[in-house]
Structure 1
């Protein structure tokens, strides 16, 4: 398949997990890639992508800031002259605990982590897409908008869903499609860079297991998905196959609608 021949795709959170999976799969379908992460591990993924023969660059940036997002899009345009597709993949809960246990600074950190990178990257990419009257954005959301023990993360992903729907209304007449994939529980290798490096306490382990149990129970298939199952949905929405789809949040959670 060559759905992305000649297309410039920016992938954020590309150093591991779903972001890495999107990068490798898109490279195999002809995309020219701009891989972004704040971890230097993104350069390892760059080497994998380039080994497959794809044109690609890597950018280290903190996308929780507008400047980081602006620098990323500027680097993409400098390298390739345009931005056709943006996959906003940065996010992920940092702490696992009942809402009343969160300190105020933890709530703010969760929102910065899982909402602001998508807000800022859309803001920074849109002028380039509007100038060419064409583009596709896929935001990675979560079915955790209905879930336990990570309420600030749930709220952030609810914001991603609202952004997706509203921004699609603003930009559809300009040739830009904006959709989201609400990922369900996903089996993945241990994170090379943990979101919370502090070991979980015994109580936190119990709360984490409760999330796992609730996620499986809420899925009609009663299982976690794979990275590939999430990647296929993301790339479908990014591709011309979804040319008449915009403003949609697609749950990919084995029947859990989020």
Structure 2
């Protein structure tokens, strides 16, 4: 049994479901103390699944700077420090040709998939600097090369740039910044829908075009499993990756985005 996170404190955002749920529970299983952050109330249910009471849930809207600051402050209050931040909030809201996006929909995509990482990094930095170092793992996407989600692609391109620039700026202060860029992943049905308004028939057709492109662009011609996405994020967050910084690791079956 690995114990790569023994006695480390890790904040995982977007942890109520999907890949980041598995990441948070995996860290707890490897000895870490984990704050699971999400705006879904059932994040507390997920935290309760961790063995030995090593995890706690916290509800915050990470599309706001206040939400990110509150999450980091709660981690410090609860656990005394933060060793690792994993920024996992994001996800395309709509799939459609770029010309079909309304301006407010473009704004919503950027707010959902860029701002939580940007705000999370900004909110955690003072804590990492005070303690002399730490690790940030941003969850990006290989969708920087893809169809039917241009605003989301642009947001994830921003996450990649954030990762590299932040790593360069704070490396000498002992802060390591990396990113994983997952491709399409087979996951259980979401408890909170991607698009709360629901998809029209046209949007469902556009979604299928995106799915076909994603699957066809991989060398394996299939989606990843959850486990195939969780393991690389755990590696990047651990000391096994201690000399890796400023890197974006594609985890997309050969489609590097």
Question: Shorter chain as normaliser: what TM range?
Answer: over 0.9
What residue is the counterpart of 1:214 in the other structure? 213
What residue is the counterpart of 2:65 in the other structure? 66
What residue is the counterpart of 2:126 in the other structure? 127
Q: For structure 2, which runs of at least 5 residues remain unmatched after alignment?
A: none
Number of positions where the alignment pairs a residue of Structure 1 with one of Structure 2: 256
Q: Is structure 2 residue 232 aligned with structure 1 residue 233? A: yes
In the alignment, the residues of structure 2 paired with residue 199 and residue 166 of structure 1 have an alpha-carbon distance, to the nearest angstrom, of: 36
Aligned partners of 1:186 and 1:225 also within 8 Å:
yes
For the residue of structure 2 that corresponds to 1:35, the secondary structure is strand
Alignment of 1:29-68 (within 5 A): 29-49=30-50, 52-68=51-67
Q: Is structure 2 residue 49 aligned with structure 1 residue 20? A: no
For the residue of structure 1 that corresponds to 2:140, the secondary structure is strand
Segments ≥4 residues shifted beyond 3 Å: none
What residue is the counterpart of 2:12 in the other structure? 11
What residue is the counterpart of 1:83 in the other structure? 82
Q: For structure 1, which runs of at least 5 residues remain unmatched after alignment?
A: none
The alpha-carbon deviation at position 203 of structure 1 amounts to 1.5
Aligned partners of 2:48 and 2:56 also within 8 Å:
no
For the residue of structure 2 that corresponds to 1:186, the secondary structure is coil
What residue is the counterpart of 1:176 in the other structure? 175
For the residue of structure 2 that corresponds to 1:187, the secondary structure is coil
In the alignment, the residues of structure 2 paired with residue 83 and residue 199 of structure 1 have an alpha-carbon distance, to the nearest angstrom, of: 37
Q: What is the RMSD of the two structures over their aligned residues, measured on CA atoms? A: 0.8
Aligned partners of 1:8 and 1:82 also within 8 Å:
yes
Aligned partners of 2:37 and 2:59 also within 8 Å:
yes
Aligned partners of 1:30 and 1:54 also within 8 Å:
no
